[in-house]
């Protein structure tokens, strides 16, 4: 996430080039000056360069989108949904060794309507695939899916009539290899997803599946929908150009 902290951006050039007002650790005079500026601000007497400096020191500017994505990525609620072997390793994610709550994902939700992310932990059989799809459809956007383990990514060691890879019936954001993956690998996958959410949410499955225009929108924002369709067409033409 790009948060622009003005004071730091200036100080980032190097300690020698730092502005005279930038606070150095242990610099009592600068700290005192900052305190005085804060006092003056409260009195309404701060103006000119001092006011500018105070704003640079104390305010972080960002866009609302970025702030929202930052918050979203740091509190992904997974769905309590286990299929097979991987689900046991998924339970050990919330155990004391891995402790998924460090990354804000420990609040497992039992209903898809409250969950942000579904972890397909195990093999998805032909009989289970429609059920999984329905559960995924019941989740509210923004929603993310992780295919945990070889079976749900590529049918794994079985590779037979009974198993379906998850990509065949629903969009998947992150695939985690392993049979079953270690909990560390799953945490890595969740962190990848977090980065995906925080960097650019459009880089997730909609790009890969060319699914622009499927976002849940209010019925009256048709222009927005057209914009998205236009974006999809643009992507497509760009790909064609690249191919040509």
Partner 1 sequence: MSSDDDKRDGPVPEDGSAASADREHDSDASTTERERGARVADETSATTPSASTPGQPDEGGGRSTSADPEGASTGAPTATALKEREEDWETIAKRYRADEATIDFSSQLGAVATQDETELLTINMGPHHPATHGVLRLLTTLEGEVIRDVKPIIGYLHTGIEKTAEDKAYWKAIPVVERMDYLAYYFNAMAYCGAVEDLLGVEVPKRAQYLRVIHLELNRIMSHLVWLGTTMLDLGAISILWYAFRERETVLDLFEYSSGQRMHTRYFQIGGVADDIPAGWADKLQRFLDEMPTRLDQYEAMLSKNEIILQRLKDVGVLDAESLQAWGVSGPLLRAAGVPWDLRKAQPYSSYDDFDFKIPVGTVGDNYDRYAVRIAEMRESVKIIQQALDGLPEGPVITGDRKVALPPRHELATSMEALIHHFKLVTEGMRVPEGESYYPIEGPRGELGCFVRSDGSSKPARVHMRDPSFVNLQAFGDMARGEYIADMIATLACLDPLLGGIDR
Q: Which residues bind partner 1 (CB under 8 A)?
A: 80-85, 87-89, 91-92, 95-97, 110, 122-123, 125-128, 131, 135, 157-163, 179-180, 182
Q: Which residues contact 62 (CB under 8 A, 6 or more apart)?
A: 1, 2, 3, 4
Token pair of 210, please? 């060319």
Shortest gap between Cβ of 94 and partner 1 (angstroms)?
Answer: 8
Question: Which residues on adjacent β-strands are paired with residue 4?
Answer: 61
Q: Give the residue with the Cβ less far from partner 1, 93 or 174.
A: 93
- How far is the C-alpha of 186 from the C-alpha of 201, rounded, in Å? 20
d(CA 231, CA 60): 31
Rounded to a whole number of angstroms, the minimum distance from the CB of residue 117 to partner 1 is: 15
Q: Judged by CB, which is closer to partner 1: 163, or 204?
A: 163
Question: By C-beta, is 131 or 229 nearer to partner 1?
Answer: 131
| Smallest gap from residue 136 Cβ to partner 1 (A) | 11
In the bound state with partner 1, the residue whose beta carbon lies nearer, of 161 and 220, is 161
The CA distance from 175 to 154, in Å, is 10
**Nearest approach, Cβ of residue 123 and partner 1 (Å):** 5
Closer CB to partner 1, 7 or 122, in the complex: 122
**In this structure, what token pair is assigned to residue 82?**
């286990």
Region of 64 please: left (phi>0), alpha (psi -120 to 50) or beta.
Answer: alpha
Q: Locate all alpha helices (DSSP H) within the chain, ordered by sequence.
A: 6-11, 28-43, 48-58, 64-74, 85-93, 129-138, 149-154, 183-199, 205-208, 222-243
Q: Which is nearer to partner 1, 22 or 139 (CB)?
A: 139
């Amino acid at each position: 996430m790009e948060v622009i902290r003005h004071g730091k951006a200036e100080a980032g050039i190097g300690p020698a080039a730092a502005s005279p007002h930038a606070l150095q650790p242990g610099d009592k005079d600068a700290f005192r000056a900052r305190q005085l500026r804060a006092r003056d601000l409260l009195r309404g007497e701060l103006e000119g360069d001092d006011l500018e400096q105070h704003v640079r020191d104390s305010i972080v500017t960002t866009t609302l989108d970025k702030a929202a994505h930052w918050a979203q990525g740091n509190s992904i609620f997974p769905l309590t949904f286990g299929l097979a072997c991987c689900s046991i390793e998924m339970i050990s994610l919330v155990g004391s060794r891995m402790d998924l709550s460090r990354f804000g994902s420990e609040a497992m939700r039992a209903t898809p309507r409250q969950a942000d992310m579904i972890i397909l932990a195990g093999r998805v059989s032909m009989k289970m695939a429609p059920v999984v799809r329905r559960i995924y459809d019941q989740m509210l956007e923004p929603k993310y899916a992780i295919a945990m383990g070889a079976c749900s990514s590529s049918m794994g060691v079985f590779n037979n009539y009974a198993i379906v890879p998850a990509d065949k019936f629903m969009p998947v954001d992150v695939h985690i290899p392993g049979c079953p993956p270690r909990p560390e690998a799953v945490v890595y996958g969740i962190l990848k997803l977090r980065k995906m959410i925080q960097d650019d949410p459009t880089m997730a499955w909609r790009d890969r599946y060319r699914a622009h225009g499927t976002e849940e929108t209010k019925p009256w924002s048709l222009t927005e929908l057209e914009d998205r369709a236009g974006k999809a067409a643009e992507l497509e033409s760009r790909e064609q150009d690249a191919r040509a």
